Amino acid sequence: MPASVAPDSQDVARVLASGAAVVSARGITKEFPGVVAVDNLSLSIAPGEILALLGQNGAGKSTFIQILAGVHRGYRGEIALDGKPYQPASVAEAEAAGVALVPQEVNVAPDLTVAENMYLNAEPTRFGFLDRPLLLARARRVLEGFGLAVDPAAAMGSLDLSTQQLVIIARALSKNARLLILDEPTAALTEAEARRLFERMRTLTRRGVAIVFVTHRLPEVFAVSDRIVIMRDGRICGSYATTEVSRDTVVAQMVGGVRTPIALGEQKPGAVALEAKDLTVADPADPTRLRVDRVSLQAAHGEILGLFGLLGAGCIEAALALYGAWPGKVSGRIALDGRDVTIANPTMAVAHGMGLMAQDRRDCLLLEHTVLDNALLASLGAITHRGFLDVGAGQRRAQEFVRLLDIKTPSIETLVGTLSGGNQQKVQVARWLIADARILILIDPTRGVDVGARAEIKRVWSDLRADGRAIVIASTDAEELVDVCDRVLVFRRGAIAGELLRADLSEETLLRMATDV
Ligand SMILES: Nc1ncnc2c1ncn2[C@@H]1O[C@H](COP(=O)(O)OP(=O)(O)OP(=O)(O)O)[C@@H](O)[C@H]1O
Ligand SMILES: [Mg+2]
């Protein structure tokens, strides 16, 4: 069959039945100093198949799919693409061969335009010059085709993280790939965007495209995948047809045992810790556009308050503004423990006993520093005695959380930049669990964190809550909020559309309130 002809679905069924694979990897092994990231792994993927690749943080998922996508060269084993030997020397070579990757952390050039970011390294040229009109037109077509209302001439840095991710996904989906690889594509997306992505994925598989996607969100695994493959310690420890396996089995395979969900104890919230009145947050690029419009809210001591909304609804903007971390204009009043305060920047927020965990971990983590340094960054005061740092106490705290959250790292002296995405996130979580902040503002705190560690993190939040801290969680993950919140404020188009108490919380109600229907 000529490569340019898309097979119809009957063809796909036939190829699937015949067992021909789009990609077939045999005996893949990849080592990093001190770790075997992928250990003698073999896997084949059929045309039209959506394969969900699961496993705990550090299991080797990203490393394996990066090998398929030409990111790593130094590995052992063989790969065949459409039956022919395949050994890409670079990402560009893999793309040319029909393998497209959306990486776990999308790296963008914030000062370049959206269109330039979409076609970096592959800009259309005319007589050797960059053909700008063509570039913009092409980008516009792809964005519109994906239903994204983004101006291709806007600076990439002016978009929020989720929109940036959608742009990169739209680009990858627009390529005529045979194998599409998505590494946690929905981590920063809300359910509505994720659903739209899944519809797109289905359309592609009907043309015979094979898709591998990595995620830690189990509901979507069952909603969209055909096959589930679970990795542990660089190896495959389970492979199932999605319709033939239960969620419990998958979780047990991943964590090697079953864990009980946490139950928040009965507790009356205390006095108001944080109050915002008429909080108004303007778009950084266009101050006349209000991202949050006169929102008032309160969070009490001993309360976990959730802020939920679809992309651009204002909940993340509000969370950043409360902490003085929003890049645009902010107005309104903020009071802590009943006293009006000015929080113009994060340093002032910290001085007032607030802690913030931002959405993009690269903003917060010092990747060139050790796990120990990063974990203790927010609590240096607490481990300092008479002006001296208690090094031993700091190390013990860090070790304790490495164990508790099961952070996969050779030691606490390892550089954070060499950890897997989810383990980096765990280090950030550990920092705010160790910190003595009275008010915690967390944005998508368990993004990319595996199921086992999520349970531990929730347990610690529950302790902090019992200790009278106020915790505000702005999240795109409805399931996470339903699990831990005493109360959730649902944002819609920059205003609060409703409030749900713990007893009335469900993912469905949250989503219904967040959308207009
Ligand atoms: N560049 C690197 N240098 C050193 N070690 C690395 C590097 N990249 C990955 N590792 C290590 O390889 C192992 C597997 O990491 P990988 O990123 O593949 O995990 P993952 O399954 O994708 O996890 P996550 O769910 O957290 O993204 C981890 O122990 C990680 O620390
Ligand atoms: Mg990964």
The rounded percent of the chain whose pLDDT value lies above 90 is: 46
Q: Is the pLDDT of residue 11 over 50?
A: no
130 band by pLDDT with thresholds 50, 70 and 90:
low
Q: What pLDDT, on a 0 to 100 scale, did the predictor assign at position 17?
A: 52
Q: List alpha helices for 361-497, DSSP H.
A: 361-364, 371-376, 391-404, 421-434, 451-466, 478-484
Q: For residue range 21-71, what is the model confidence (pLDDT) as tens digits?
A: 999 999 999 999 888 999 999 999 999 999 999 998 899 999 999 999 999
Q: What is the pLDDT of residue 384?
A: 67
The contacts of residue 237 (CB under 8 Å, 6+ apart) are: 230, 231, 253
100 band by pLDDT with thresholds 50, 70 and 90:
very high
- E strand or H helix that includes residue 330: strand 330-336
pLDDT-based confidence at residue 125 (cuts at 50, 70, 90): low
Residue 131 has a pLDDT of 74
> Please, what is the angle between helix 507-514 and helix 191-206, to 10°?
90
Tell me the three state secondary structure of residue 444: coil
C-alpha of residue 511 to centroid of ligand 2, in Å: 28
pLDDT of residue 129: 61
| Ligand 1: nearest atom to the Cα of 231 | 21
Q: Is 66 in the pocket of ligand 1 (CB under 6 A)?
A: no
Is the whole model's pTM more than 0.85, yes or no? no
Residue 115 binned pLDDT confidence (cut-offs 50, 70, 90): very high
pLDDT of residue 15: 47
- C-alpha of residue 5 to centroid of ligand 2, in Å: 33
pLDDT band at 8 (very low <50, low <70, confident <90, very high): very low
State the pLDDT confidence band at 515, using cuts at 50, 70 and 90: confident
State which of 31, 35, 53 you would mutate to test the pocket of ligand 1, scoring each by most atoms of that ligand within 8 A of its C-beta: 35
More confident residue, 491 or 478: 491
User: Looking at residues 249-272, what average pLDDT do you find?
Assistant: 75
**Mean pLDDT on 151-161:** 89
Give the C-alpha separation, 459 to 444, whole Å: 17
Bridge partners (DSSP) listed for residue 155: 113
Residue 141 — very low, low, confident or very high, per pLDDT cuts 50/70/90? very high
- CATH H-level superfamily of 9-98+177-255: P-loop containing nucleotide triphosphate hydrolases (3.40.50.300)
478 CB-near residues (< 8 Å, 6+ apart): 191, 308, 507, 510, 511
Q: Choose one of 30, 56, 63, 231 to mutate for the ligand 1 pocket test, by most ligand atoms within 8 angstroms of C-beta.
A: 63
| pLDDT top residue among 314 and 479 | 314
Average pLDDT over residues 425-440: 85
- The rounded Å distance from CA 188 to ligand 2 centre is 14
pLDDT at residue 231 in the model: 95
CA pair distance 112, 276, nearest whole angstrom: 35
Is it the case that residue 221 has pLDDT exceeding 60? yes
Instruction: Give the pLDDT band of residue 439 (cuts 50, 70, 90).
Output: very high
Domain boundaries, given as residue ranges, for the chain: 9-98+177-255, 363-436
Quote the pLDDT of residue 12.
Answer: 44
pLDDT of residue 19: 58
Residue type, 3: A
Residue 6 clears pLDDT 80, i.e. is over it: no
Arithmetic mean of pLDDT over the chain: 86
What are the tens digits of pLDDT across the range 323-352?
Answer: 998 989 999 999 999 999 999 988 888 889
Q: Higher model confidence: residue 320 or residue 286? A: 320
Nearest protein Cα to ligand 1, atom 6: 418
Dihedral sign from CA coordinates of 251, 254, 255, 258: positive
CA of 293 relative to ligand 2 center, distance in Å: 37
More confident residue, 160 or 125: 160
pLDDT at 2 over 50: no
Question: Which range, of 155-164, 197-206, 356-365, averages the lowest pLDDT?
Answer: 356-365
